[in-house]
Amino acid sequence: MDAVSVVSHLRSLASEPRNRAGIVNDKSCLAGLILLLSHQDPNVVEGALQTICYLCENAHHCEIMRHELGMMVSLENIRSSQVKKKCLTSAIAETKVLKAQQVIKNESGKEVYLPMPSVSLPVEKNSCLPDYLPEEESPQKDIEKALARPALKEENSGSWFNAAANFLSKTFYW
């Protein structure tokens, strides 16, 4: 069976309230559901999320699933990545200069670059941010000149200790 048919079957089973307790108490069903949450096909992930929504209608089931290994991590990964990744890819493609690539590690531990499909989604504009300040000439003049501390009269005369301290401060970069 392919992932789409598995998730469809689980979702149809979970849609019936009498089947939900059996799914939640079956460790292999929950483990399979967690694996489906990290599938590459968005339809499979959506079906897995719908199944979890059915199962979560009972508060006791929520607690059981929350403690299942990998469930919370998978849900967090989904929450933080199906919209942001597409929006980011779209924003990169909009520049027409860069190409988005995903970096993953293969079985031998080496990094592999996978090209991300260029999606033409509208890029969100944040209206809460102020406009950039206009670019004007800098008020600072003579920027080619370095600033130096003028030597004080006390530094030039004095004991051998002042001379050694002066030598060290001018010789070493602090």
Q: Domain ranges in the chain? A: 3-80, 84-115
The rounded Cα 2 to chain-centroid distance in angstroms is 29
Return the amino acid letter for 3. A
**Radius of gyration, alpha carbons of the chain:** 31
Burial of 132 (0-12, 13-18, 19+ CB in 10 A): exposed
Cβ 105 vs Cβ 111: under 8 Å: yes
- Please report the pLDDT score of residue 146 as a whole number: 56
Going residue by residue through the chain (174 aa), what tens digit of pLDDT does each one get? 788 999 999 999 999 999 999 999 998 999 999 999 888 888 888 899 899 989 988 888 888 988 889 998 888 887 776 656 666 677 677 767 777 788 888 899 898 888 877 655 555 554 445 566 666 665 555 556 555 555 555 545 567 767 777 777 777 655
Return the amino acid letter for 83. V
- Three-class secondary structure assignment of 96-117: CCCCCEEEEECCCCCEEEEECC
Return the amino acid letter for 21. A
- Please report the pLDDT score of residue 143 as a whole number: 58
Return the amino acid letter for 128. C
- Please report the pLDDT score of residue 137 as a whole number: 63
Cβ 115 vs Cβ 101: under 8 Å: yes
- Please report the pLDDT score of residue 46 as a whole number: 87
Distance CA 2, CA 78 (A): 21
Task: Flag whether the pTM goes above 0.85.
Answer: no
